[in-house]
Amino acid sequence: MTRTAKLSFYFILFIIFGLIGLWMPLLGDDLHWGTYFGSNYFPQGIFLKYDGRYLGDLLVITMTKVRPIAFLAYGTFMTTIVYLIQKIREQIKMPKSIGLVSASLATALILLTPKVIFKQILGWHAGFANYVPSLVFPLFMLYLVLKNYDNKDVHYYRTSTILIFFAAIAAQFFAEHITILNVFNSILVWLFLRKHFGNHFKKILNLILIGNFIGAFLMFINGAYLKILFGTDSYRSVKGSATADTMFNYMRTQFSMKHLLLLGVATLIFTVAVILYTLRIKNTKQKIANFSLLLSGFVVIAPFLVVSPFGSRCMFATYMFFIAIFAINFDLLLTAYERYILPIFMLIAIGLGIKTDAVAHNYGKTFNMQIQYSQYQNTVNRNTQYFLQYKDTNYIWLTAPIQDDGNFAELYVKDANRNKVPINYYDWTDAANKIKKNKYQTHDEYMKAFDKQILQKVKLIQAKENK
């Protein structure tokens, strides 16, 4: 019964996150990854001088070209992260019953990720492909450390050993700051904790260390990083600039002083509270988990003190490590009340998931309609191109209004010299609703009727403005 309940919960999470990936629109460079740029990226050797995120780039290409893969990727990686957080908690102390409090709370907090981060992670396929899968290995590494700590009897078969070694290499091809973190963590564990492991895991640890170094080497020998190092890259730098490129400049220009002060105070309070609380607890594995996650949260973002450009997506790893600390310790503190709080958190997590899926579905419908309407307008002889706006941009990374989005125009607008007129979300959805009940033999007839409604809307709007 317990196993079935757990499988059911994780299956629901897989579906929830998968649908976000399936329905979220392609934005920014997603559109190029999914078309000619992605098609030529590996065959023409572009990857040799672009970056060392080989697996992340491959993932975004496949996600944007084959949308069901986006469903599988979002569902698999997000569910795996939640699963690992729960497994770390269980290595500290086994729950009295079904568990899943840590998993449920972590899920809820992921779905409540601040909008500024959410839109560049779950609301942008290119952001997801690099910044989410990369988090799996640091959490997996912590899980392995806790599982093997002072446990000399753990045995690893050859197949498992080989898979872990190749995972240590593959984990380095997603995001540079996580690549550095993986090397940092493997060195730290090897230096300070290896005496607490049995012979089998010491071999595993050595292979992880070697694998992380091999992967980091293969990533950073990419031609792009030589250009960055010598300051000849037009986009990236290790010196930063005064134009909001590095972390401090970004934070200073993107947020008010009030918000920065609140963020700084909240981070300080959280850090001090975790340190003081962890020093008081007696469970050694809990101490390791807390300090490891807290340290990782700061180490992973430290490179952006000098590396640019910095975006809100770069804060996701730190946010997730802090989420893991909170979820795991909250769960352990209230373990006696698990049977009462678990249903509440599960319902909250699933409810938030359904709500987020609905938001993603709405964005996806708008995106599909934008493409269809633009393609129809390409067949019409007139001087104006109408662009359908999103309901909002709270959860998607729209770098420019749809009418000014060069990536979208390059792919779906035939005549770039036309006047560009945005159509408010509520206006165009009202136009679509007016013809919804009518039956049309072809899609072209439907688009003609829709276009007629849009033109009527434009006339009404112009009449009101001229009064």
pLDDT in tens, 280-336: 999 999 999 999 999 999 999 999 988 888 889 999 999 999 999 999 999 999 998
Backbone angles phi, psi at 308, to 5 degrees: -135, 155
The alpha-carbon radius of gyration of the chain (Å, integer) is 25
User: Which residues neighbour 47 within 8 Å (Cβ) at sequence distance 6 or greater?
Assistant: 41, 54, 57, 222
Contacts of residue 373, defined as CB under 8 A and 6 or more positions apart, other chains included, come to 386, 388, 447, 450, 451, 454
* Residue ranges of domains in the chain: 2-357, 358-466
- In this prediction, residue 240 carries a pLDDT of 55
Select, from the ranges 84-88, 198-202, 223-227, the one with the highest average predicted confidence (pLDDT). 84-88
Would you place residue 227 in the very low, low, confident or very high pLDDT band (cuts 50, 70, 90)?
A: confident
- Tokens coding 293: 């996650």
State mean pLDDT over 213-241: 84
In sequence order, what are the residues at sequence separation of 6 or more whose Cβ sits closer than 8 angstroms to the Cβ of residue 164?
A: 144, 156, 204, 207, 208, 211
pLDDT-above-90 percentage for the chain: 79
- Residue 343 has a pLDDT of 94
Higher pLDDT, 105 or 154: 105
Give me the chain's average pLDDT, please: 93
Return the closest-CA partner of residue 303 out of 375, 388, 216.
216
Q: What angle, 0 to 180 degrees and rounded to 10, lies between the N-to-C axes of helices 425-434 and 338-377?
A: 80
Q: In the numeric block, which tokens belong to residue 464?
A: 């009101």
Over residues 51-57, mean pLDDT: 96
In this prediction, residue 244 has a pLDDT band, given cuts at 50, 70 and 90, of: very low
Maximum distance among all alpha carbons in the chain? 84
Rounded to the nearest 10 degrees, how much is the dihedral formed by the CA atoms of 305, 307, 313, 316?
-50
pLDDT average, residue stretch 56-78: 97
Q: 335, 102 in Cβ contact below 8 A? A: no
| Long-range contacts of residues 372-381, Cβ cutoff 8 Å, at least 24 apart | 372/443, 372/447, 373/447, 373/450, 373/451, 373/454, 374/408, 374/412, 374/413, 375/412, 376/444, 376/447, 376/448, 376/451, 377/451, 378/412, 378/413, 378/414, 378/415, 380/451
pLDDT at 242: 46
CA pair distance 64, 30, nearest whole angstrom: 6
- What integer pLDDT is reported at residue 1 of this predicted model? 57
Question: What is the predicted pLDDT for the residue at 438?
Answer: 87
Residue 173: pLDDT over 90? yes
Six token digits for residue 424: 């408010």
- DSSP assignments along 198-217, one per residue: -HHHHHHHHHHHHHHHHHHH
**Residue 241, pLDDT above cutoff 60:** no
Residue 467 clears pLDDT 70, i.e. is over it: no
Q: CA 72, CA 58: separation in Å to the nearest integer? A: 14
Of residues 405 and 75, which shows the higher confidence score? Answer: 75
Which pLDDT does position 198 carry in this prediction? 92
Mean pLDDT of 414-430: 94
8 close to 182: Cβ distance less than 8 angstroms? no
Residue 419: which H helix or E strand, with range?
strand 419-423
Work out the average pLDDT over 139-149: 97
pLDDT at 156 > cutoff 70? yes
Summarize pLDDT for 351-400 with one digit per residue, the tens: 999 999 999 999 999 999 999 999 999 999 999 999 999 999 999 998 88
Nearest Cα residue to 308 out of 232, 239, 222: 239
Question: Any bridge partners for residue 384, and if so which?
Answer: 419
Interatomic CA distance for residues 10 and 375, integer angstroms:
40
